[in-house]
Amino acid sequence: MKSKDEVQEFNSQDLMSIEAENVDMEAIKAMDNESNYRKLKGKAGMLITAIAVSMSLFQLYTSGFGLLQARLQRSIHLAFAMALIFLLFPGSKKSPKGKFTAIDMIWAAVGVTVNMYIVINFQALAYRAGNPNGLDIIMAILAVITVLEAGRRVVGIDLPILGMIFIAYAFFGRYLPWIFAHRGYSISRISEYMYLTLEGIYSTPLSVAATYVFLFVLFGVLASKTGLGQLFIDIALAIAGKTTGGPAKVSVISSGLMGSINGSSIANTVTTGAFTIPLMKNMGYKARFAGAVEAAASTGGQIMPPIMGAAAFIMSEFLGIPYTKIIVAAVIPAALYYLAVGTMVHLEAAKNDLKGLERVPHLFNLLKTRGYLLIPLFIIIWQLVNGYTPLSAGFYGSLSSIVIYLIEKVIVDKSRSNGYDGSEFAGTCKAWGKDILECLEEGAKASLGVTASCAAVGFIVGTCTLTGLGLTFAGMTVNLAGNVVAALSAIGLGFMDTPGVLLFFTLFFTMLACTILGSGIPTTATYIILAMIAAPALEKLGVTPLAAHMFVLYFGVVADLTPPVALAAYAGAGIAGSNPFWTGFTAVKLALAGFIVPYIFVYNPEILMQEPVGALVLVQIIITCVLGILALGAGAEGYLRTNTNIVERVLLFVAAIMLLMVGIKSDLMGAAMLALVFASQTMRKKKSILEVEQKAA
C-alpha cells in the first residue's frame, strides 16, 4: 500500500507523462531554424562531436582561466561556429539531411580559414592597421560572404538580406537623397572595416556571444539534464495546480521558471508546452487557448531574471553597466508581464468555470527530495549579487551542474536501490561522462543561432558607426512623431501639442518598428538593430538610456507572439493542434496588458530601481500598475466577478488608462472606477447565486 505522499508524487509524474497525441515534435522543433540541423552518425557524427565538444571546452577553459585578447577570443569562437554551421545546416531544402556535402565542406573550410587568418596573423595585422594588403582585403570579402551565408542557413534569409541592405547603404551613400546621403565607401574599405576592426563582424554582439551567452546556453543544457526543468514544472503544479484554471497557471509559472535558465521563447514553448498544453486540453481548455497560454508565458522567459536572453548581456555591454543592474531593472517589468498573462488566464478560467487538478505534488516534498537541483541556480544568483562577473557566474554555474548531475547519477540514484558494487559505480561514472559529453556537444550546437545572428548583425552595427545612421534614424523618428502631433493640432487638437504626447508617439512608432522587425529575425538581432537606430530617438526626448534599451528589448521579445510571423505561437499551435494565426491572436490578447508594461517604465523609471526612490512611492506605482493591469485584462476578457455589460467594460478600459497614467488624481479616479465595477458585479453575482438557491429550494 502506497503512502499518501507516494501517491501524490506518482500522480505528478503521471500528469507530466501526458504527451500530445499525433503530434510530430520534430516537425514543431523544425519551426525554429536554429534547432533544425542535421543529425549525423558514424564518422561524420564523430567529427561534429569532436568540434562541438572542443568548442565547449575552449569556452570553459578561457572563462575559468582567463579570456584571450578580444580579437583572438572572438575569431576562434567564430571559427568553431563556422565549421559546425556549414556541416550541420543544409544549404537548401534539396540538400541531404543525413550527411554533409563537398560544398558544405568548402564553405566550412573558408569560414574557418578567414577566422584563423586573424589568429595566425594577429601581430602583423596590428602593425599594418589601416593599411591592409591585397590578401587582407580578399579575406575580408570572403569573411563577409561566409557570415551572410551562415546567417542564412541558421536564422533564415531575412537577417542576411537586412545586412546586405546596410552594406549597400554604406556603399551607395553618395547617391542617396535627403538626409540619408553620406560620403559613401568603397567595397575594400567596407570589407576592411567589417573584418579587420572590432566595429563590424567582431563587434560587441559577437563578443558577448563568444563569452557570456555561450556559457549560459551551456548552463541551460546542463541544468535541464539534471532534471531542473522537470522540477520547475512540478513546483508549478504544487503551487497552482489546484486553483481555478490550474493547468494554465501551471503553464505560466513553469514557463516563467524555465525562462530563468532558458532565453529562447520557442525552445521554452516546446519544452514546457509538450506537457502543459495536452494537460490543459484534457482539462477542457480549447486547443487555441492552450497553445496561446504557453506561447505567451514562454515568450516572457527572455525578460525573466536571472538568466535573460542574449540581448540582455549585449545591452549591458552597449550601456557600459553591470549585468546585475539589468537584472534589477528587469525584475518588476518581468513580474508585471507574468501578472498580466496570469490575470488573463485566471479570468478566462473563471469565466468558463474551468477547475483545477484534484491531486498535485507537495511543494515541501519536492524541495526536500529534489531541491538540491536548484543549487547551481543559487550559485549564479549569489555570484551576480556579490559583484562577480557574468562570466564567472556562468562558469561556476556550469561546473556545479556537472557536479550535481554526478551526485544525481552516483549517489541519489543508487541510494534508491539496494546498493551497488565497484563495477556498477564504474558503469555509472561512464554513463555520467557520456551524458556530460552530450551536453557539451548540445551546448555548442545550441549557441550557433546566437553566434550567427551576432556575426551577421555586425554589418548593421558597423554601418551605423561608419555612417552615423543611428543618429539619422533617431532624427527621423522624432520628426515623424512631431508631424503627427502637428497634424492633430491642425484639426483642433492643439491641447495634445505637448512633450508628453510627442514622446508617446515616438514610443509608439518605435514599438511598431520593433514588432515588424522582430517578426522576421531573432530577438537578439532585433534588439541590436533597434538599439543602434531607435533607442537614440527615445534618449533624444529625455528617456533614460536604460529605459530606452529596455523598451526596445521588451517589444523585440513580444514580437514572437504577434502574427503573421509569431514563432512562439506557431510552436504552441503545433503542439495544441490549433490554427497558428488565431493562436497568435489569442496569445496577443493574453499578453495585451503586458504590452503596456514598457510604457509604464518609460513614464515611471522608478520601476527599474536604478536610482534611490522612496519605498512608498515605489509601492504606490506597483499597486496602481497591478490594478491597471487587472482593469485592462478584465475589460479585454469581458469578465471580472461575472460577465461585464457594455457600460462596465467601458469603465474598465477607462479605469485602466487612468491607473496607468502618471499622477495621483488619475490613479484615484481609475481605482474608484475599478472599485465601482467590482462592487456592482459582486452584488449582481450574489443576487444570481441567491436566485439559483431559491429555485433549487
DSSP characters for 522-561?
Answer: -HHHHHHHHHHHTHHHHHHTT--HHHHHHHHHHHHHHTTT
pLDDT at site 443? 92
For the four alpha carbons of 252, 641, 332 and 239, in that order, the dihedral sign comes to negative
pLDDT at 20 over 50: no
With cut-offs at 50, 70 and 90, classify the pLDDT of residue 401: very high
Q: What is the DSSP letter of 468?
A: -
The 10s digit of each residue's pLDDT in 26-36 is 555 555 666 67
Instruction: Check: CB of residue 205 under 8 Å from CB of residue 458.
Output: yes
pLDDT at site 533? 81
Q: Which of 223, 228, 235, 230 lies closest to 365 in space, CA to CA?
A: 235
Query: Residue 144, Cβ neighbours under 10 Å: how many?
Result: 24
Cβ-Cβ contacts under 8 Å for 539 (sequence gap 6 or more): 474, 545, 548
Tell me the CA distances in angstroms from 27 to 22, 30, 522, 544, 565, one per residue in order: 12, 5, 19, 43, 17
Higher per-residue confidence, 261 vs 20: 261
Q: Which of 641, 602, 674 lies closest to 244 in space, CA to CA?
A: 641
| Region class of 621: left (phi > 0), else alpha (psi between -120 and 50), else beta | alpha
What's the mean pLDDT in 203-230? 89
The 10s digit of each residue's pLDDT in 444-487 is 998 998 899 999 999 998 998 888 887 777 777 777 777 777 77
Three-state secondary-structure class, residue 639: strand
What's the mean pLDDT in 659-672? 87
- CA 210 from centre of chain: 18
pLDDT at 495 over 60: no
With cut-offs at 50, 70 and 90, classify the pLDDT of residue 542: confident
- CA 619 from centre of chain: 28
Instruction: Check: CB of residue 560 under 8 Å from CB of residue 518.
Output: yes
Bridge partners (DSSP) of residue 643 are: 639
In whole numbers, what is the pLDDT of the chain averaged over residues?
Answer: 84
With cut-offs at 50, 70 and 90, classify the pLDDT of residue 388: confident
pLDDT at 581 over 90: no
What's the mean pLDDT in 111-126? 93
What's the mean pLDDT in 203-225? 90
| Region class of 366: left (phi > 0), else alpha (psi between -120 and 50), else beta | alpha
Higher per-residue confidence, 476 vs 80: 80
Q: Where are the domains of the chain?
A: 1-611, 623-697
Q: Which of 480, 475, 511, 522 lies closest to 314 in space, CA to CA?
A: 522
What's the mean pLDDT in 171-183? 84
With cut-offs at 50, 70 and 90, classify the pLDDT of residue 56: very high
Q: What percent of the chain has pLDDT over 90?
A: 28
C-alpha dihedral, 504 to 297 to 561 to 608, nearest 10° = 20
pLDDT at site 1? 35
Instruction: Check: CB of residue 16 under 8 Å from CB of residue 238.
Output: no
Cell numbers linked to 562 = 504577434
pLDDT at 419 over 70: no
Burial class (CB in 10 A: 0-12, 13-18, 19+), 626: middle
Three-state secondary-structure class, residue 183: coil
pLDDT at 613 over 70: yes
The 10s digit of each residue's pLDDT in 305-354 is 888 877 888 888 889 898 889 988 998 888 889 998 898 888 888 888 88
Query: Residue 182, Cβ neighbours under 10 Å: how many?
Result: 17
What's the mean pLDDT in 177-202? 88
- CA 564 from centre of chain: 19
Tell me the CA distances in angstroms from 287 to 276, 462, 637, one per residue in order: 12, 45, 18
pLDDT at 396 over 90: yes
**Using CA atoms, how far apart are residues 644 and 635, in angstroms rounded to an integer?**
8
**Using CA atoms, how far apart are residues 322 and 329, in angstroms rounded to an integer?**
11
Instruction: Check: CB of residue 21 under 8 Å from CB of residue 281.
Output: no
